[in-house]
Structure 1
Amino acid sequence: MFIRAYLRASTVDQDANRARKALEDFVSSHGQQIAKSYIENESGASLQRPKLFELLDDAKPGDVLLVEQVDRLSRLTESDWQQLRATIKAKEVRVVALDLPTSHQFMQTTTAAADAFTSRMLAAINDMLLDMLAAVARKDYEDRRRRQSEGISKAKEKGAYKGRGIDKDKHSRIMALVGKGTGIRETARLLEVSTSTVLRAIEKAKANA
């Protein structure tokens, strides 16, 4: 069984490796080990996640895509989630999430023929719950964005909103690489930041030019 762990955090300031031990302990409890880990700092609300699609490109039929929670895999809109789900199904990859008990059956190496019906039923239930948790994750994302927007609006009304602080040192290192002709993705990889952070630095530099 080839288990590919996917660890994601929304920003470079968050630790995408935070869940590594929980995943390792879970896999060990099933007598398995993680074969390869894919780590990135990108929003779960975006399909622009190079490491996730690198995982799917590498995956072979029957491989396990392991995540701590379904929201690490998706905070996507319905259409984007269905697009990702179609890719996962086409690759015949089995999603296992620690917060989705029905998916834990995929950690078993063999299934007795007598349990074939039960296995199919559990797989169908698992697919339904996976879709449901993905929808819940998206709603949570939208609710947090709405509350954040409302908080910013109130702060602006009071004249107290200053916006997000800028890491000037990080931006200067980004622009130094970009100035040498380094591409956006390569800059992000070299500095271990998200591509969105690189784009924000470029936009900020243009605005100040």
Structure 2
Amino acid sequence: MNYGYGRVSTNKQELGLQIKALKDAGATKIYKEKISGAKAERKELNNLLKEIKAGDTLIVTKADRIARSLSQLERIVTELTSRGVAVHILNMGIFTAQNMDNPMTKLLFNVLGAFAEFERSMILERTQEGIKDAKEKGVKFGRKSKAFKIEGSLLHAILQVEGGKMSQPEGAEFAGCSIATFKRRLKEYRESNNEGG
């Protein structure tokens, strides 16, 4: 049986192109997941590695779909080929127990695997440089803070604190929230009033 394995690093990325390439290459059962290659626990890959048996073929589009380093790639491919599984990496070739014993194939495998690892580290480096550059230009990363409506008892308590008629702990108690939350809302209130003024 021909098994395919497709992986993308984040939920925002799509698997469509990989799935099509795997089907075109003859994969009849495809395992797929959206998880970083840096994560050791890849549930779908682990399930596939348990299920695949002698006479089967594992098809992946690129080496970095199943491994994050040359040593990990070599370990997975060697383990599978020694079990009688053929590994077809579409941009590298087909590896079997027979040709993995051939010094030329082994050399080619290591060279191509090293290029894949190099490419992955270059992408990582470019990504980190891009993030650093964006941060220097003032781009904010992470979730946007939720905008809260300051109204009702909270607004009343803030106005009392601002007017010097209540302490912050009294304001928090009146508004029915923690002191930390009250202080955050008070800060937001002051900031929005400064922007408006």
Which category describes the TM-score, using the shorter chain as reference length? Answer: 0.5 to 0.7
- Partner amino acid for 1:141? R
Q: Distance in 1 between matches of 2:57 and 2:20?
A: 17
1:69 is displaced (CA, Å) by: 2.0
Q: Which among 114, 120, 125 is matched to residue 135 of structure 1?
A: 114
Equivalenced residues, count:
144
Matched, 1:62 2:41: no
Q: TM-score, normalised by structure 1?
A: 0.57
2:139 corresponds to: 161
RMSD between aligned residues: 2.9
Q: List structure 1 runs of 4+ shifted beyond 6 angstroms.
A: none
**Bigger radius of gyration among the two:** 2
After the TM superposition, which residues 1-209 of structure 1 pair with which residues of structure 2 at under 5 Å, given as runs? Answer: 2-27=1-26, 34-74=27-67, 76-101=68-93, 103=94, 120=99, 124-158=103-137, 160-165=138-143
**Could you give the per-residue CA deviations for residues 143-181 of structure 1, whole angstroms, max 9, x where no partner exists?**
2222222233333334x1311447x9xxxxxxxxxxxxx
Higher relative contact order (CA 8 A, sep 6+): 1
- Partner amino acid for 1:87? E
Q: Tell me which moved more, 134-143 or 47-56.
A: 134-143
Uncovered stretches (5+) of structure 1, i.e. residues with no partner: 28-33, 107-118, 169-209
Q: Distance in 2 between matches of 1:127 and 1:84?
A: 14
The secondary structure found in structure 2 opposite 1:155 is helix
1:137 is displaced (CA, Å) by: 2.0
In the superposition, relative to structure 1, how do residues 135 and 44 fare at CA in structure 2: closer, same or farther (>3 Å)? Answer: farther
Q: Distance in 1 between matches of 2:142 and 2:36?
A: 17
Q: Distance in 2 between matches of 1:124 and 1:63?
A: 24
The secondary structure found in structure 2 opposite 1:128 is helix
The secondary structure found in structure 2 opposite 1:96 is strand
1:42 is displaced (CA, Å) by: 1.6
1:17 is displaced (CA, Å) by: 3.3
**Could you give the per-residue CA deviations for residues 71-109 of structure 1, whole angstroms, max 9, x where no partner exists?**
2222x23443344344324433211022124x18x7xxx
Q: Distance in 2 between matches of 1:155 and 1:120?
A: 47
Q: Distance in 2 between matches of 1:121 and 1:86?
A: 8
CA contact (8 A) 2:9 2:35 kept: yes
